[in-house]
């Protein structure tokens, strides 16, 4: 089975103007692209560039300055999410990614909410995720809840483990609300990658790929991606594989590494 590939064109193809990255990704064999935030983007340009290249848009981040774990953020979080869904519908994106904490410049956690108990944080997430699921089902735009590493890139982020993310989406039970399993993040936080994937394959809606350490292309670090891809295929994973990685040298060299798998 050939798993459809998506290139994250924020860190990849950074040597090109943003709208030129769609055609470059298509030429390199990617079926989809994805990116991070949308407010700073030329949405009409994105729609035109994707259509011209004949490449799909897998998704982008659907939240920004608001946090699922802050009960006081419920209204602004959901209002912003609805805007993101409208953008996804406009440009033809299939999904949006959501997080427990607001992320600032460079992915830094804006507020770890140390003053809130874990009970409050979890209950707030569950409450808001119920609404997220409703929005996803009504709009047709899938939502993927992503746990992030708290070791190097996102210190202070609350949602750090696959089990918590999968428990929440499993309890809610919506086919449009799933987990984004980022192999790089989870190698840093918890390891035990294949067993974790196997235990939660029913909740994994999207997969992100980068090697650890360094967040570069597969083959540059310690993760055995041959076995990861084999496990996903054997378990019947039906989603896309998103390559959200920082090329160690050039995008062309990173693409060669990706194609070798």
Evaluate the CA torsion angle 160, 162, 167, 173 in order and state its sign: positive
Helices within 98-219 (DSSP H only): 118-139, 162-172, 183-189, 193-200
In the chain, the DSSP E strands lie at 5-8, 32-34, 56-61, 93-98, 142-146, 177-182, 204-209, 241-243
**How sure is the predictor about 161, in pLDDT bands with cuts at 50, 70 and 90?**
very high
Give me the numbers of helices (H) and strands (E) for the chain, helices first please: 9, 8
What is the predicted pLDDT for the residue at 1?
Answer: 53
Q: What is the per-residue pLDDT for 176? A: 98
Its domain, for residue 88, covers 5-259
**Site of tokens 């990685």:** 245
Q: For the segment 183-224, what is each residue's pLDDT rounded down to a tens digit?
A: 999 999 999 999 999 999 999 999 999 999 999 999 999 999
Task: Assess whether pLDDT exceeds 80 at residue 92.
Answer: yes
Domain count, the chain: 1
Mean pLDDT of 103-115: 94
pTM of the model: 0.97
User: pLDDT band at 2, cuts 50/70/90?
Assistant: confident
DSSP 188-217: HHT--HHHHHHHHGGGEEEEEE--TTTS-S
Q: What is the mean pLDDT of residues 247-255?
A: 98
For position 181, what pLDDT does the model report?
98
Predicted local confidence at residue 204, as pLDDT: 98
- The answer to whether the peptide bond before residue 132 is cis (omega within 30 degrees of 0) is no
The CATH number of the domain holding residue 34 is: 3.20.20.150
The answer, yes or no, to whether residue 11 has pLDDT greater than 90, is: yes
The mean pLDDT of 164-177, rounded to a whole number, is: 98
What does the alpha-carbon distance between residue 58 and residue 8 come to, in Å, rounded to a whole number? 9
Q: Cβ(58)–Cβ(95) under 8 Å?
A: yes
- pLDDT mean across residues, the chain: 97
Q: Which are the contacts of 238, defined by CB distance < 8 A and separation ≥ 6?
A: none
Give tens-digit pLDDT for 30-70.
Answer: 999 999 999 999 999 999 999 999 999 999 999 989 999 99
Of 8, 10, 70, nearest to 41 by C-alpha is 10
pLDDT of residue 64: 86
Asked if residue 252 has pLDDT above 70, the reply is yes
Distances (CA, A) of 207 to 13, 52, 101, 173, 195: 20, 26, 20, 19, 15
Q: Tally Cβ neighbours within 10 Å of residue 193.
A: 19
């Amino acid at each position: 089975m050939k798993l459809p590939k998506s290139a994250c064109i924020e860190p990849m193809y950074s040597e090109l103007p943003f709208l030129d990255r769609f055609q470059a990704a298509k030429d390199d064999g990617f079926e989809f692209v994805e990116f991070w935030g949308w407010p700073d983007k030329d949405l009409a340009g994105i729609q035109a560039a994707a259509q011209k290249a004949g490449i799909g848009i897998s998704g982008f981040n659907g939240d920004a300055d608001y946090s699922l774990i802050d009960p006081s953020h419920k209204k602004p979080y959901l209002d912003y999410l609805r805007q993101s869904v409208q953008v996804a519908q406009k440009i033809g994106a299939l999904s949006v990614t959501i997080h427990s904490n607001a992320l600032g410049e460079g992915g830094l956690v804006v507020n770890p909410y140390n003053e809130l108990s874990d009970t409050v944080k979890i209950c707030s997430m569950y409450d808001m995720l119920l609404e997220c699921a409703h929005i996803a089902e009504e709009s047709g735009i899938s939502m993927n809840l992503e746990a992030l590493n708290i070791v190097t890139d996102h210190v202070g982020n609350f949602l750090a483990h696959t089990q918590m993310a999968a428990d929440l989406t499993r309890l809610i039970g919506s086919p449009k609300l799933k987990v984004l399993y980022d192999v790089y993040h989870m190698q840093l936080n918890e390891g035990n990658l294949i067993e974790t994937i196997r235990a939660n394959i029913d909740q994994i809606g999207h997969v992100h790929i980068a090697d650890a350490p360094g967040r570069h292309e597969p083959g540059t670090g310690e993760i055995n991606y041959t076995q990861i891809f084999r496990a996903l295929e054997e378990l019947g994973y039906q989603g896309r594989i998103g390559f959200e990685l920082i090329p160690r040298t050039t995008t062309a060299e990173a693409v060669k590494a990706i194609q070798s798998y």
